[in-house]
Amino acid sequence: MHIHILGICGTFMAGIAVLAKQMGYRVTGSDAHALPPMSTQLEEQGIEVWQGYEVEHLEPVPDCILVGNALSRGNPAVEAILENNLPYQSAPQWLYENVLREKWVLAVAGTHGKTSTSSMLAWILEQAGMSPGFLIGGVPQCFGVSARLGETPFFVIEADEYDTAFFDKRSKFVHYHPRTLVMNNLEFDHADIFENLAAIQKQFHHLVRIVPGQGKIIYPSGSQALQDVIEMGCWSETETMESSKGWQAQLLEDDGSSFEVCFAGESQGRVQWDLIGEHNVSNALSAIAAARHAGVSVEVACEALSTFKNAKRRLEVIAQNDTVTVYDDFAHHPSAIATTIAGLRAKVGDARIVAVVEPRSNSMRMGAHKVDLAPVLSGADSVRLFQPEDVDWSVQSVVDELENDAHLFADVQALVNEFEPNAEQETHWVIMSNGFFNGLHAQLKTKLEASDE
C-alpha cells in the first residue's frame, strides 16, 4: 500500500510518515520546506521527499493521500485531489483508525510544554519496561526519533490544538480518544485560526468530553482557563497539579535541577536531572502523574527522569567554548520565552544572557503577542530582535520599549557579524524561534568553532 503525505516535513506529519513506514507501507511525501530535524529524520528512515506540491507527485495515484493542515484550497495538489476525486484523509483521522483505536492513549495538551512532557512520559514508560508507542512534535534525544509504534497497548501522543485539515477545522486532538489526558496550561495562541481564548477553550472541552469515565484528566489547579474548561462539564477522574490535595514539587535547587515530588502533602520521591527551569519541573510532575495512571510507580518515574534527555531545540546547547554558549530553543510565545530566560538565569546567575528572537509563528507575525514581548525579554541582559519580511507590524516598537540593551536586525548576516565568540565575560546566546531563522544557528556555531581553531 502506498501512502503519500502532503506537508510531510511538519513535526506531526513526519511522525505519521515514520509510523506508516514501520507498518510496512510505502511512504512518500511532498513539502515546500524541508528543514531539520524532521528532514533529517525522514532521510534516515529512507522516506522519499519531493520539493513542492506538484500534481505529478500524485502519479500514479497513491492508495491514500494524507493532507497536512498547512495546505489549503488553491494548492495545486489539493485542487488535483478534489478535481479527480482522489482518495484523501486527514492524518489525525488516519492515525486513530490505523494505530490508536486499540491503544491506551496518553495525550499531552496545552499551550506550552507538550513536546517536553510527552517526551518525559514516553521515557518513563520506556524505563518501566512498557515499550510504548509515541508520536511527539520533536525528536526526543532519549529515542532519536519522533515516533514509533511500540510493542504494548500504551501510546503517548503530543495533542495539538491546531486545526486538523482544510476540510476539518476541529482541533487535531479530538481524534485521539485519550484514556489519560494531561492539560499543562492554556493561553491564547494560534491567532490565525482562533478568534479568542474562549474559542480554544471550546476545543479543549471537546477533548474533555471524550475521556472515559474511568480515564483521568491531569491539570494545574492554578489555571483559571483550564478550570473553566473543566466546569463546562467533566465526567472523568481528575488530579490537580500544584495544589495541596494533588501533586506538588519542592525545589531542592533554585534552577530546578533537583526537586522533591509530593502527592497530597506526602513525599513520593526525588528527581535529580540535567534539565532546568520551574516549567520543566511542572512538566515532570504531569508526566509522573500520567505514568502513575498507567501503572508506573512514582519511584520508578523519578529514577527514569534522572536519565532523561530533552527533545532537540529545548534549550539545546549547539555550540560552546570557555566563555560563550549558544542555545537553540523552540520558544515562540511570550510565556515560553519568559520561562526559558528565567530557567537559564537561575542556572547561570549573573552571567550575561543575550536573547535572540525571531517572531515567526502565525500569532507572532500577526502581532497578537507584540505587547507582551518587551516585559518577558526584560530578564535578558541584551536582546536581538529580528524583523522578518512577512511580519505585519514593526518589531522596532518592542525594541523602543525595552530598557536593556536591545537592537533590531532585518538581516541575519548582520546578526552573525555582531556575534563575539571570544567574549571576555561568560555569555549565553539563546536563539528562540520555531523555525530555521535563515540559518542563524548553523552560522553562529560555525563562527564559534572557527574561533576555537
Instruction: Kindly list the domain boundaries of the chain, sorted by start residue.
Output: 2-89, 102-305, 316-452
- Give the pLDDT band of residue 69 (cuts 50, 70, 90): very high
Q: What CATH class does 2-89 carry?
A: alpha beta
Using the predicted structure, report yes or no on whether residue 119 has a pLDDT greater than 90: yes
Tens digits of residue pLDDT in 279-300:
899 999 999 999 999 999 999 9
Residue 453's pLDDT is: 64
Element (H, E) at 218: strand 216-220
Per-residue pLDDT, averaged over 345-357, amounts to 89
Find cell 479527480 and name the residue: 84
Tens digits of residue pLDDT in 134-154:
999 888 888 989 999 999 999
Residue 203's pLDDT is: 95
Q: Is 115 left (phi over 0), alpha (psi -120 to 50) or beta?
A: alpha
Residue 419's pLDDT is: 84
2-89 and 102-305 agree in CATH topology = no
Contact 311, 119 (CB under 8 A): yes
What's this model's pTM, rounded to 2 decimal places?
0.83
CATH architecture of 316-452: Alpha-Beta Complex (3.90)
Using the predicted structure, report yes or no on whether residue 179 has a pLDDT greater than 90: yes
Cβ contacts of 169 within 8 Å, gap of 6 or more? 163, 193
Name the least confident of 9-18, 46-55, 207-216, 440-449: 440-449
Per-residue pLDDT, averaged over 156-184, amounts to 96
Tens digits of residue pLDDT in 255-286:
889 999 999 888 999 999 988 888 899 999 99
Cβ contacts of 4 within 8 Å, gap of 6 or more? 27, 28, 29, 30, 57, 58, 62, 64, 65, 66
**What CATH code is assigned to 102-305?**
3.40.1190.10
Tens digits of residue pLDDT in 364-377:
776 777 787 888 88
